[in-house]
Amino acid sequence: MDKHTAAIPTLTIKVVLLGESAVGKSSIVLRFVSDDFKESKEPTIGAAFLTKRITRDGKVIKFEIWDTAGQERFAPLAPMYYRNAQAALVVFDVTNEGSFYKAQNWVEELHEKVGHDIVIALVGNKMDLLNNDDENENRAMKAPAVQNLCERENLLYFEASAKTGENIYQIFQTLGEKVPCPEQNTRQSSTHDRTITDNQRIDLESTTVESTRETGGCNC
Amino acid sequence: MDLENVSCPICLRKFDNLQALNAHLDVEHGFNDNEDSLGSNDSRLVNGKQKKARSVDSSAQKLKRSHWEKFKKGKSCCHTCGRTLNNNIGAINCRKCGKLYCRRHLPNMIKLNLSAQYDPRNGKWYNCCHDCFVTKPGYNDYGEVIDLTPEFFKVRNIKREDKNLRLLQLENRFVRLVDGLITLYNTYSRSIIHNLKMNSEMSKLERTVTPWRDDRSVLFCNICSEPFGLLLRKHHCRLCGMVVCDDANRNCSNEISIGYLMSAASDLPFEYNIQKDDLLHIPISIRLCSHCIDMLFIGRKFNKDVRMPLSGIFAKYDSMQNISKVIDSLLPIFEDSLNSLKVETAKDSENTLDPKNLNDLARLRHKLLNSFNLYNTLTRQLLSVEPQSHLERQLQNSIKIASAAYINEKILPLKSLPAILNPEGHKTNEDGQKAEPEVKKLSQLMIENLTIKEVKELREELMVLKEQSYLIESTIQDYKKQRRLEEIVTLNKNLEELHSRIHTVQSKLGDHGFN
């Protein structure tokens, strides 16, 4: 968040990512939060917590993202994270049919346990693996099956690729629009009496060499 | 090329035309033999028709052909590539084994006698297949051996000499530095004023031992390459003079007590004796980089460890492993019997157990309990052994944790059988005969109304929850350092939820949870 967004109203959205192991949940989050992608990523242990702020229509949206592990042994953790979530990303791999059926189970569980207030986005990840000339060749799930699920369960649907970054930002942007904005969630930062100019600010996180020089060489 | 007046390449005799030269070569120089090495079954495929090879000299001895495979048009295949043979790809017999091949797969030549046997001395050159070529005697016998060991030693010795030279240099510097510092300490440690003088003298001494690199030109740590800043300070290694950081996590440099250093390198020729001069608690530390520490002490530590005799811990642990093998072999049998017994009981309307099966199960359970008891005794004995080093203490702790987990995990099925299966349950009746064991309902075989499966599931959940709470705690610590206070609030809430869930699961498990 930059220096000037302090006085802008902030909407906090808690998002949980669900889906089978190795469908690319962590890669989607990494692409959104850090605009980065790692070819070989370690499987997530438990649930990872990340945050990201985006500015939309003059207001700051802060995403609190819980990236859950897809492995079966971590399944008991999921309810803790989707219980209070305002949005859920249910991810499947477009080249793996099994992951779609698992995603279907997650959607049903969410509606059963949380109700229909939660905004659910179904994300077909790894679009980069599909052959552009003949998309249906490698595609495990055909469009009607996905469309049918989305209509039946009232889901947002995105086809994305964490590797290329295709559609990743749009997913979260759409979630920001779709999640209702409660009054108590928007908070105005109080303005201080004394205004601090930019050149008076001290950046505590800076570890530049210039600051070291002024302190006088080594610490021996 | 002029086809008139051609001469024989061997005897240089002139001929009017090419045909005469060919006839001369066939008759005089025996080039007719070469047809042997190309033709198949004494005939050759020419434009799809078989043409008889000319027999020039009927008296000339010919290579044995009785073992040759007959060519069948459209049916014969190459034994290597499997292609159907025809006049385009050729159809040639291997002169040794007689199998048919295409031209491409008969590339080798071999010396054979007239009986088609390998004869390197008196034989003539004939075409043969790859298999015959590689199976000939001595095919792999006369390879050239190139011994590069001397060159390798040469290169290695140069590197070793460099390393030894560097080590010697470090050791000399180390001895000079330690001796100098102790001398200064003995001279100046009387009063506060002397102390100030001592510090400046020590600083001078440190710089004379090795030249320090100018820190103004150094922007990054020499070991971890992290940029220096307000939080990451510059320090000089007192032995190599390099500029390094003092980050606790990366361990690039450490201030180590002089007494500890001397005891770790007690073989070096110091002026002072650590025991005699009571230098173990001397309040002087030397900052060394991790490279110098490794170079000076890793070899010494290794040699020290090698000289140390193996302790009794290992013998005890070996016995424990043997007992665990016995348990692992008996337990599946017990579990299978128990499950089948439960199935029978579920079918039975009165919900009772068969006494005969119950006896077998009781015996097996008794055997298992004895094994567990022995395993536990051995663990206790192992833990009672006095550890010789810090590593052995660590090893003991690890074995203690592992054996506790092992017993906890494996003993669970035994708890599924009620206490009546103990020997006390087998009471005798008035006749002195063994009475049948008292039979109880299946519901009483459950552990506090939890099945084995449920206990396992709850334990797994508990492990996952504890793992997650640990991860969240470490994330909170990181965020505290980064002053990310908003996120910490969220994480603290989550941590509370995790703890309450852990408490719930633990209360469900009761005695069967982890301590």
Quick check: A218 and B236 CB within 8 A?
yes
Let me know whether B299 and B187 are in one domain. yes
Range of the domain at B118: 65-139
DSSP β-ladder status, A59-68 and A47-56: antiparallel
Residue with tokens 């049903």: A108
| Residue A25 assigned as binding residue | yes
Distance of CA B341 to the CA centre of its chain: 44
Predicted local confidence at residue A69, as pLDDT:
92
Same domain, B319 and B402: yes
B273 and B342 co-located in one domain:
no
Q: Is the dihedral of CA A173, A178, A183, A185 positive or negative?
A: negative
Cβ–Cβ below 8 Å for B475 and A49: yes
Residues B316 and A78: their CA atoms lie apart, in Å, by 44
The pairing of beta strand A87-93 with beta strand A10-19: parallel
A45·B467 Cβ contact <8 A: yes
Whether B267 and B333 map to the same domain: the answer is no
Say whether B245 counts as a known binding-site residue.
yes
Q: Are A120 and A157 within 8 A, CB to CB?
A: no
- Interface contact flag, B229 A46, Cβ < 8 Å: no
A80 chain-B contacts, CB cut-off 8 A: 494, 497-498, 501
**B230–A64: do the CB atoms touch at under 8 Å?**
no
Of A45, A80, A218, the CB nearest to B471: A45
- Yes or no, beta carbons of A208 and B227 under 8 Å apart: yes
Q: Is B215 on the interface with A (CB under 8 A)?
A: yes
The answer as to whether B133 is a domain residue is yes
Q: Tell me whether residues B468 and A46 touch, CB distance under 8 A.
A: yes
Residue B151 belongs to a domain? no
Residue B253 lies in a domain: yes
Chain A residues with CB inside 8 Å of B460's CB? Answer: 73, 76
Which residues in chain B show pLDDT less than 70? 1-5, 28-61, 140-145, 189-192, 194-195, 273-281, 307-311, 341-358, 412-453, 511-515
Q: What is the mean pLDDT of chain A?
A: 76
Residues B170 and B192 in one domain: yes
Instruction: Quote the CA–CA distance of B65 and B96 in Å, as a whole number.
Output: 9
Rounded distance between C-alpha atoms, residue B408 and residue B456, angstroms: 11
- Closest B-chain CA to A208: B229
Residues on chain A bordering chain B, Cβ-to-Cβ distance under 8 angstroms:
45-47, 49, 51, 64, 73-74, 76-77, 80, 204-209, 211-213, 215, 217-220
| Residue B359 touches chain A, beta carbons under 8 Å | no
Give the residue from B307, B339, B364 where a domain finishes. B307
Give me the pLDDT at residue B390, please.
72
B230 and B179: one domain? yes
Tokens 């592990």 correspond to: A69
Chain centre to alpha carbon of residue A111? 20
Point out the residues of chain A with pLDDT beneath 70: 1-8, 56, 131-142, 181-220
pLDDT in tens, A195-204: 334 444 444 4
B333 and B412, same structural domain?
A: yes
Q: Do B235 and A204 touch (CB under 8 A)?
A: no
Residues B215 and B277 in one domain: yes
The answer on B296 and B328 residing in a single domain is no
Distance, in angstroms, between A77 CA and closest chain B CA? 7
Fold of A8-176: Rossmann fold (3.40.50)
**Whether residue B237 is found in the same domain as residue B274:** yes
Together in a domain, B174 and B86: no
Which residues of B fall within a CB distance of 8 Å from A45? 467, 471
Residue with tokens 């660590």: B394
Give a yes or no: residue B42 inside a domain: no
Question: Is residue B246 in some structural domain?
Answer: yes
Domain count, chain B: 5
Question: How far lies A185's CA from each of A10, A64, A87, A171, B233, in Å?
Answer: 7, 13, 15, 21, 42
Put simply, whether B235 touches A (Cβ < 8 Å) is yes
Q: Which of B360, B365, B368 is nearest to B417 (CA)?
A: B365
